[in-house]
Structure 1
């Protein structure tokens, strides 16, 4: 079985609830798939396909650190930061109205790079809680020998499965995702110090 086939099998296999993932997801490089329950698909305003992943990504260093901390903030002592996570920005954009989220600069002290918008601490916490309630993850740790680069395997799976929250290399991303992200980027651009309490 090729790495591509092996990865697809694992990413279609066991799904781990985000809150159960610590101690299960390995500290190893690999690929991951994010799945949502029916309510998640509905709130994202997409036709529910709970057996299909919402997003495919890769961790070049550690699945546990990149995914569980960077995207999902499973350790409560570590604050999630939407400005540093493209998948959180996509979830935030599509849940903007449902959760009442608003885009702000990733670094309010030095506003710039508004397409990498962030959220206030309160709004980051709202998004994290939603993700913990509705999402699960499947992982494929890389074997010792890869027959092709990890990034190539990731791209091939994205082309094959077209997960709606992937933008790069995806022939069929979620309709309206780019526009939704642009709205939040515009909010971040218009943000001012007087908005800091929001």
Structure 2
């Protein structure tokens, strides 16, 4: 009978993998498995400066979990690497956090994620052109490391994720993070408030400006 590793061993294995090899977003699809696991998002020096986090640290900006598939949750959901599906910031807390901190730099405007049925404004989307600008920045500035959960793991993946977040205190994580960034919570609240004030006629009268950061 195979012995199931305890939480401490699983956490150590996850930390080892997530501080190991990393891939650019453009190359990650060749390495990321369609399996459950954890992922860590890193930024280059300019990313840390763009986000207002000061000098870059060799630590993840964000750690998350994929209960079913790292490919569908991470690459397709957060980074929109599948050309057949449009990026949806309204469905990704990672994208909403980056958009909030890059609001001025990328000229982002928050709108309801479903314009036909405006509601749940905390899960805001981005006005026309915003997702493309955010994608461009994310693909240019971020890298990715992953840890595949071992088959038959009985420890909840969320418990391993929590332990890893406590270990790293990544600045973009809000939940489970003892070192969460208060400024991020405020920036997301401002975006949610902007989305709540959205009106269809405003979007038509004032289309977003195509601003961007230099890669």
Instruction: Tell me which interval the TM-score lies in, with the shorter structure as reference length.
Output: over 0.9
For structure 2, the 5+ residue unaligned runs are 208-215
Structure 2 match to 1:182: 189
Task: Number of aligned residue pairs: give it.
Answer: 198
**Which of 63, 69, 88 is the aligned partner of 1:56?**
63
**2:126 aligned counterpart, secondary structure:** coil
The yes-or-no answer on 1:46 pairing with 2:36 is no
Does residue 76 of the first structure (1) align with residue 83 of the second (2)? yes
CA contact 2:38–2:149 (8 Å) conserved in 1? yes
Larger of the two Rg values belongs to structure = 2
2:154 & 2:164 partners in 1: Cα distance? 15
8 Å contact from structure 2 (residues 49, 56) kept in 1: no
Query: Partner of 2:32 in structure 1?
Result: 25
Contact 2:79 2:139 in 1 (8 A): yes
Aligned residue number for residue 127 of structure 1: 134
TM-score (norm 2): 0.89
SS at match of 1:32: strand
CA contact (8 A) 1:35 1:50 kept: no
- Structure 1 outlier segments of 4+, above 4 Å: none
**Cα–Cα, structure 1 residues 156 and 167, in superposed 2: closer, same or farther, change >3 Å?**
same
Evaluate the alpha carbon distance shift between residue 121 and residue 75 of structure 1 in structure 2; reply closer, same or farther with a 3 A threshold: farther
Residue of structure 2 aligned with 1:98, choices 105, 108, 111: 105
Is contact 2:48–2:54 with CA below 8 Å preserved after alignment? yes
1:137 CA displacement: 0.5
Query: Contact 1:11 / 1:33 at 8 angstroms: preserved in 2?
Result: yes
Q: Call closer, same or farther: CA 1:31–1:12 in 2, change over 3 Å.
A: same
- The answer (yes or no) to whether the contact 2:111–2:194 under 8 Å persists in 1 is yes
Task: State the SS of the aligned residue for 1:13.
Answer: coil
The equivalent residue for 1:151 is: 158
Question: Equivalent residue for 2:213?
Answer: none
The answer for unaligned runs of 5 or more in structure 1 is none
> What CA distance in whole angstroms lies between the structure 1 residues aligned with 2:79 and 2:202?
26
Give TM-score, length-normalised by structure 1.
Answer: 0.96
1:35 equivalent in structure 2: 42
C-alpha distance in 2 between matches for 1:89 and 1:187: 13
Displacement of 1:187: 0.6
C-alpha distance in 1, partners of 2:200/2:65?
A: 35
